[in-house]
Amino acid sequence: MITKRIIPCLDVKNGRVVKGVNFEGLNDVASPVELAKYYSDNGADELVFYDITASFEGRKLFTDILTEVASKIFIPLTVGGGINTVEDFDRVLKCGADKVSVNSGAIKDPGLIEEAAKKYGNQCVVISVDAKRVDGVFRVFSKGGRVNTGMDAIEWIKFCVDSGAGEVVLNSIDTDGVKKGFDIEMLRKVLEVVNVPVIASGGAGTIGDFIELFKKLPTVDAGLAASIFHFGEVKIKDLKNELHKNGINVRL
């Protein structure tokens, strides 16, 4: 059967990975290529590269790095950050990305998902949503989680999937950074309304949090995290061994 995926997310600014500590055998922890290779060699099932650069020069540097990563690392690569038009899809796909993650770009132009899905296929389009509870309702936040759009997150995700998004990344602002576990309640709501892969993001602090995620939500497809992997708090190999011991099907 299909395995549950473990996905490290790398934030890239001006060609360098933001935050991280040294791993054994890794000379340059901020090198996207070295870090990507390290994760790929150590069991990551997929990598997400998030471009947090704002400048044009930084963007060019990002695509150069992406090209280098894609020429050396042979696992699926998802790219996000600054994706506002179909031309942006084209720009990163040409550099070797397999999937493109859209967040604010789809909020600004809800037609972007359908347009991109028709051109590149649903499997290529990932909708990434930052959501937070406001008065008991899950709301979509934009601008890196700072601005409440007022949109209902569950309805928004359903709309995006109906428009052609082939995968959903749900980042719970409520659990993000807290390291007390994924937002099971919010994820469950999303899993109830869509039939495409759902990737859980926000809240992982320990191996136990991933076990809880996959045990409580057997239909969730993947767990994504950044800092716990970058700071070596959780090693992907150990994580996958523990998941396997707990009866969760993973690629070892």
For residues 200 and 170, give the distance between their C-alpha atoms in angstroms, rounded to a whole number.
Answer: 6
Q: Which is nearer to other proteins, 17 or 199 (CB)?
A: 199
Please state the closest distance from residue 141 (CB atom) to other proteins, in A. Answer: 27
Report residue 198 as tokens.
């759902």
Minimum CB–partner distance for residue 220 and other proteins (Å): 11
**Which tokens go with 209?**
């949090």
Residues forming the site for other proteins (CB under 8 A): 1-3, 5, 40, 45, 67, 70-72, 74-76, 93-96, 98, 121-123, 166-167, 195-197, 219, 221, 251
Among 51, 88, 130, 221, which one carries the catalytic annotation? 130
Q: Could you confirm whether 41 is annotated as catalytic? A: no
We find the least distance from the C-beta atom of residue 142 to other proteins, in angstroms, to be 27
Give me the least distance between CB of 197 and other proteins, in Å please. Answer: 6
130: annotated active-site residue:
yes
Give catalytic residues, as residue numbers.
Answer: 11, 130
